[in-house]
Structure 1
Amino acid sequence: MKIINTVSIIGLGALGIMYAEHFSTQLGKENVRIVADAQRITTYKRNGVFANGMRCDFHYVTPEQPVSSADLVLVATKFHGLEEALQAVEGHVNEQTIFLSVLNGITSEREIMKKYPKNPVVYCVAQGMDAVKESNELHYDNKGILVIGNEGGELQAHTQAVAAFFEKVQLPYLVEPNMMHRLWGKFMLNVGINQTLAMLEGTYGDVQIEGEARDLMQAAMREVIAIANHEGITLSEADIDYWMDVIATLSPTGKPSMAQDVAAKRKSELPLFAGTVRTLGRTYGIPTPVNDRLFTAISEKELRYR
């Protein structure tokens, strides 16, 4: 089994900072490389990157800088930056390098496999964290867990290697034997909670109680259930109940990534959520009125601040 000693991370959003800080503390910053272009690195060094009030001491490298191959590449960009990110880490990859994506949605692993068909990719769902990034500062109360697995029931060697690495660095994780179900379940959650709170410009507290926001979120999730069943993934009301229990653990003042994007007037991952649901809905002849509404409302917000 491969032993993971070096990590390259692309993307310093909320999750990128959280895991970069954790791995740098556990492994030593020389073994954790943050890949970014020269202009961004200059900004990071000048302004600092902070996690819960503490300035992070990261090891930055540009895509052009010669480096040894990484044992693990952690992809933590936004989806619209994935293609550029995969190109940027090319110099960090050999055929034994394992990829792990903490991106939302159901497609990032497939995109990685297209770019690096010879490399092992571990499926991953990040859940239970309440990280909020504002400018260059990250705040979180709950680090959550990373759920990892692979297609098929048998645990593959590269998934075992990542699990052993998480044990070594004391990062909370769970190995999921039915990973595709988990991946679609998290997608269902994001379609509901990310888009609802982005449209309403709300916080987790708004969907932790009965009311319009919670009802809208669950209605969007039910449209994913109908589509998932056509994809051969069995989701049900029990899965909504499971994710509601996860939501209950989050800080009521926290916001999901799309709500943070709207607050900061950034481009969101709307195409990844409602965009995917609407496309698959048309493919299977399934109406998606709730996601249509969310798509229109959030698109209008983005047009006003662009």
Structure 2
Amino acid sequence: MEIKKVSMIGMGAIGCSVAPGLFKALGNGFRVIADEKRKSKLESGIVINDETYKFPVVSPEEKGDEADLVILAVKYGHLEQAIVDIENQVGPNTMIMSLLNGISSEGIIAKHYGEDRMIYSLTSINAVMKGNAVKVSLDSGEFMFGEKENIISERVKAIAKLFEEAKLPYSIPENIEYAIWKKYLINTSINPIAAVMRAKNGFFQDLDSMKLVRKSIIDEVQKVSNAVGVCLTDEDCEEILTVSKNYNPNGKCSMLQDVEAGRKTEKDMFLGTLIELGEKYNVDVPIAKFLYHMISVVEEANEKGMQIA
């Protein structure tokens, strides 16, 4: 199996972290799916690490050759529309990979296109978007992917070969679902807190009291993971508290960036999913609910032009 055609939707920070490598590896075999408004913007060029790229762009309405692989790199709030927009790129043998954070996007996509198409994945790449320019660091993270059944299939081998050709850092974890939950544990214990407190990464490195705040939400994620059957361990939870030591202390997580830019956050992906699973499995998650409502306040304040000191 060889991947010759890749279609991707979503050219935010994460999309821009993968697009240059795929474009260099595939040439016109790589294309970005975008509506007319975004299409004209992309065709004028997007700056990634101080280099301007003009990627091939197709509209959702255009019909053509099916892609071997479709990658979704949109924000959670745009996922449902993206699922519709990729339809003309999906053929009988197309694989679908979601680079969204969280634990729910693969299941949502599978409801539309079937579980058999899904390649499970996550990313730990550091990328920041400011206006029409993106700074990406491929040295401090990687892409992870695999089959839900944790077998090294021909599909996984083909994606690995593609990522090697694209010079994109990757790994294939022994248990992809477990790896996704561990990343979810990191995100859920940092992003919402940072968004509410306007806290840069340094707050999560130097303040002992912040560890207590994080532990409260970490405990809820662990309890839900046990109910679901993923079973994050106590060691996982302790390890998560040290991960932030590797971050740039002046850096900002994605949810804080969204808040400062006046965008809607991904609170539903991180906290909403946890609340839903808590209700489904009868696990109390009061901290998740509190943070969810606090971020709702921040979003509403942004919408009304109110400043939170």
TM-score using structure 2 length = 0.91
The offset of 1:293, in angstroms, is 2.2
Q: How many Å separate the matches in 2 of 1:297 and 1:21?
A: 37
- Residues 242, 165 of structure 1: CA spacing in aligned structure 2 closer, same or farther, 3 A cutoff? farther
Secondary structure class of the residue paired with 1:248: helix
Q: How many Å separate the matches in 2 of 1:61 and 1:254?
A: 34
What residue identity is the alignment partner of 1:115? H
1:139 partnered with 2:98: no
**Residue 149 of structure 1 is aligned with which of 131, 146, 151?**
146
CA deviation profile, 1:109-137 (whole Å, cap 9, x unmatched) = 1122111127521100112x221112222
CA deviation profile, 1:149-177 (whole Å, cap 9, x unmatched) = 22224323322221222222221111112
Check conservation: 2:68, 2:95, Cα contact below 8 A. Answer: yes
Q: How many Å separate the matches in 1 of 2:126 and 2:237?
A: 19
- Residues 301, 214 of structure 1: CA spacing in aligned structure 2 closer, same or farther, 3 A cutoff? same
- Residues 89, 282 of structure 1: CA spacing in aligned structure 2 closer, same or farther, 3 A cutoff? closer
- Residues 244, 170 of structure 1: CA spacing in aligned structure 2 closer, same or farther, 3 A cutoff? farther
Taking every aligned residue pair, what percent have the same amino acid on both sides? 31
The offset of 1:214, in angstroms, is 3.7
Aligned residue runs from structure 1 range 93-172, under 5 A: 93-117=90-114, 120-127=117-124, 129-143=125-139, 144-172=141-169
Residue 307 of structure 2 corresponds to none
Check conservation: 2:23, 2:30, Cα contact below 8 A. Answer: yes
Aligned residue runs from structure 1 range 230-269, under 5 A: 230-269=227-266
Q: How many Å separate the matches in 2 of 1:195 and 1:179?
A: 24
**Residue 203 of structure 2 is aligned with which of 203, 206, 212?**
206
Root-mean-square deviation (Å): 1.8
Check conservation: 1:96, 1:119, Cα contact below 8 A. Answer: no
Check conservation: 2:42, 2:55, Cα contact below 8 A. Answer: no
Q: How many Å separate the matches in 2 of 1:51 and 1:214?
A: 35
**Residue 69 of structure 2 is aligned with which of 51, 69, 72?**
72
What residue identity is the alignment partner of 1:20? A
Q: How many Å separate the matches in 2 of 1:141 and 1:214?
A: 27
What residue identity is the alignment partner of 1:60? V
Report which stretch shifted further, 224-233 or 245-254.
245-254
The count of corresponding residues between Structure 1 and Structure 2 is 302
Check conservation: 2:6, 2:67, Cα contact below 8 A. Answer: yes
Residue 33 of structure 1 corresponds to 31
Secondary structure class of the residue paired with 2:206: coil
Check conservation: 2:211, 2:241, Cα contact below 8 A. Answer: no
The offset of 1:226, in angstroms, is 0.6
Check conservation: 1:130, 1:255, Cα contact below 8 A. Answer: no
Residue 8 of structure 2 corresponds to 9
Check conservation: 2:195, 2:255, Cα contact below 8 A. Answer: yes
The offset of 1:228, in angstroms, is 0.4
Check conservation: 1:132, 1:254, Cα contact below 8 A. Answer: no
Secondary structure class of the residue paired with 2:42: helix
Q: How many Å separate the matches in 1 of 2:4 and 2:242?
A: 35
1:89 partnered with 2:89: no
Q: How many Å separate the matches in 1 of 2:24 and 2:17?
A: 11
Q: How many Å separate the matches in 2 of 1:244 and 1:71?
A: 39
What residue identity is the alignment partner of 1:286? V
Secondary structure class of the residue paired with 2:298: helix
Q: How many Å separate the matches in 1 of 2:89 and 2:280?
A: 38
After the TM superposition, which segments of 4 or more aligned residues of structure 1 sit over 4 Å from their partners? none
CA deviation profile, 1:159-199 (whole Å, cap 9, x unmatched) = 22212222222211111121111111111111111111111
Q: How many Å separate the matches in 1 of 2:19 and 2:203?
A: 30
CA deviation profile, 1:26-70 (whole Å, cap 9, x unmatched) = 332x12101000111123344x42212222221111112232111
Structure 1 gaps of 5+ residues are none
The offset of 1:5, in angstroms, is 1.7
Q: How many Å separate the matches in 2 of 1:196 and 1:225?
A: 17
